[in-house]
Amino acid sequence: MSNATEFEMRRRERRRRERLRKKRIRAAIIFIVLIAIIIVVAVAVSMKKGNNEQQNTNNVSVEATENPENVVPTVEPVQTNTLNIPPATEENDLLQIVKDSVQEKRCYLTFDDGPTENITPQILDTLRKYNIKATFFEVGSLIDSNFDMARRVYEEGHLIANHSDGHNYEKLYASTDTFINEVNACFQKIDAVTGGAQTMRLVRFPGGSYKSSADSFSPVKQECKKVLKENGYYYCDWNALNGDAEGKKKDAQGLLDYLKSNMPEGQNVVILMHDAAAKQATADALPMIIEYLISEGYTFHRLDDINYQAAVTTIAPESGETATTTTSTDTTNTASTTNPTNTTNPTSTTNPTADTANAQNSNTQSATDKPVQAQNAQNITPAPAQSGTAIIIQ
């Protein structure tokens, strides 16, 4: 082998080794880059996962805080407010408490005489659309026959209050004993719906509780107020109404116009409406009524959502004096509690004849449209015997 050939072979060998070395370096670089990318991706993924878990934990803790009693979060949490108003044993006229509060432009929508399978769901759909919470004064015997609807009212965050067990004036107002027995029976049924979660014990007298010489039940109603107080129950009338239980039957526009005509000026407002089976116009009018109240600047609340502390007015100190506080529940207000003629809307809020007229209408409707006697009264106190007559619905 010549020297030239040997030299050429060595040169080729060097080049081969050089290429191999470069190839290994490239492979090493690619490997390192890949590892780096994998590490970066892994870190990013784990950080994101960590954030989500943290967020979920936060959500759970918020729900737990808002709704400590609800162990199984299968339904929308129902918040039971801690009452921040005078105890019912001291002052149980909730309308007066609402009016006394200096919280302004607060509206409390109330629906009496349900739950019903045809009207109540329409009312609930509208309230949900506007994200508004309201108060439903339900009749015990109707909770029996429409238990699932009562449950829906509760699950959608509304307050269920007490509107007697049978809504038959003669039976209910026969004595203070018959009255409180029906109220207690109705509370038992409400507790069956809510699992006893509602702390507010609130009653609305069928026909209202205003003093009136035209109302033969008025004297016993005044006695019943004392019995409610002894039991720690509030009662609540209204200071505005859409007129769906009064006089001539109105269409949706008529109900809105009626409400506009009797809205109290400068007061928080508790509005009486009905979700009884015959009140289709009330369901039809509700969106218009809500739009109207929104345009007037009202906010909407359940009747257990009253911050009574807000009713304490701070009087600015004059030179050198200490600030003093006074509540707005001074004695000048008590006159309007006991004297309905002092209300801004005496004709509509205190006229029991309208209620009676409607009771007669609804009596017919009840007899034809819907059996309102208890149908599902197992494990709860049965409704009073109806003697074959339909319950009078206001």
Q: What residue ranges bind Zn ion (CB under 5 A)?
A: 112-113, 206, 394
Q: Are 379 and 299 in contact (CB under 8 A)?
A: no
In order, the DSSP letters of 26-84 are: HHHHHHHHHHHHHHHHHHHHHHHHHHHHHHHHHHHHHHHHH-TT-SSTTS-----PPPB
CA distance 314 to 304: 24
Residue with tokens 């108003």: 85
- The nearer residue to Zn ion, 366 or 394, going by C-beta atoms, is 394
Provide the Cα torsion 135, 141, 145, 150; round to 10°: 20
Least Å from the CB of residue 237 to Zn ion: 12
Least Å from the CB of residue 238 to Zn ion: 11
Least Å from the CB of residue 275 to Zn ion: 10
- The nearer residue to Zn ion, 113 or 246, going by C-beta atoms, is 113
Least Å from the CB of residue 112 to Zn ion: 4
- The nearer residue to Zn ion, 113 or 237, going by C-beta atoms, is 113
- The nearer residue to Zn ion, 166 or 340, going by C-beta atoms, is 166
- The nearer residue to Zn ion, 206 or 384, going by C-beta atoms, is 206
- The nearer residue to Zn ion, 259 or 272, going by C-beta atoms, is 272
Q: Which residue is nearest to Zn ion (CB)?
A: 394
Least Å from the CB of residue 358 to Zn ion: 9
Least Å from the CB of residue 383 to Zn ion: 15
Residue 22's alpha-carbon distances to 9, 13, 14, in angstroms, are: 20, 14, 12
Largest CA distance in the chain: 141
Q: Are 154 and 193 in contact (CB under 8 A)?
A: yes
The two three-digit tokens of residue 173, written as one number: 């107002």
Closest listed residue to residue 146, CA positions, set 169, 123, 177, 129: 123
- The nearer residue to Zn ion, 137 or 258, going by C-beta atoms, is 137
Least Å from the CB of residue 208 to Zn ion: 9
Radius of gyration of the chain from its Cα atoms, rounded to whole angstroms: 34
Q: Which residues are bridge partners to 352 per DSSP?
A: none
- The nearer residue to Zn ion, 78 or 203, going by C-beta atoms, is 203
Least Å from the CB of residue 284 to Zn ion: 20
Q: Are 243 and 250 in contact (CB under 8 A)?
A: yes
